[in-house]
Amino acid sequence: MDANRPEALPAVVARRRGRARLRSATVALGAVSLVAAGAVAYTLPGGTANTATTAGTATGTGTVHAAAGGS
């Protein structure tokens, strides 16, 4: 379509309006996704608690094996 033709002008305006709507919907959906990801990250347990628990379990298991092996 040529924007210089008078009969094409409504189509060009409609296409620009459609692109603007699509762009605003994309931005809104991105913002909602970002908020949802933040909410999920906030509710998940922290990485340090899981690491400390794993380290404590590994140490406890090692001690049991050492005591059993020494008998």
Give the integer Cα–Cα distance in Å for 56 and 59. Answer: 5
pTM as predicted: 0.50
Residues 6+ apart with CB under 8 A from 3: 9, 12
Give me the pLDDT at residue 19, please. Answer: 97
On whether residue 17 sits in a domain, the answer given is: yes
Percent of the chain, pLDDT > 70?
59
On whether residue 19 sits in a domain, the answer given is: yes
On whether residue 61 sits in a domain, the answer given is: yes
Give me the pLDDT at residue 6, please. Answer: 75
Considering only residues 15 and 46, tell me which one the structure prediction assigns the higher pLDDT: 15
> What is the Cα 15 distance to its own chain's centre?
31
3-state secondary structure of 3: coil
On whether residue 64 sits in a domain, the answer given is: yes
Provide the residue range defining the domain that includes 28: 6-70
pLDDT tens digits along 43-71? 998 755 545 445 555 555 555 555 555 54
On whether residue 1 sits in a domain, the answer given is: no
Report the domain count for the chain: 1
Give me the pLDDT at residue 5, please. Answer: 74
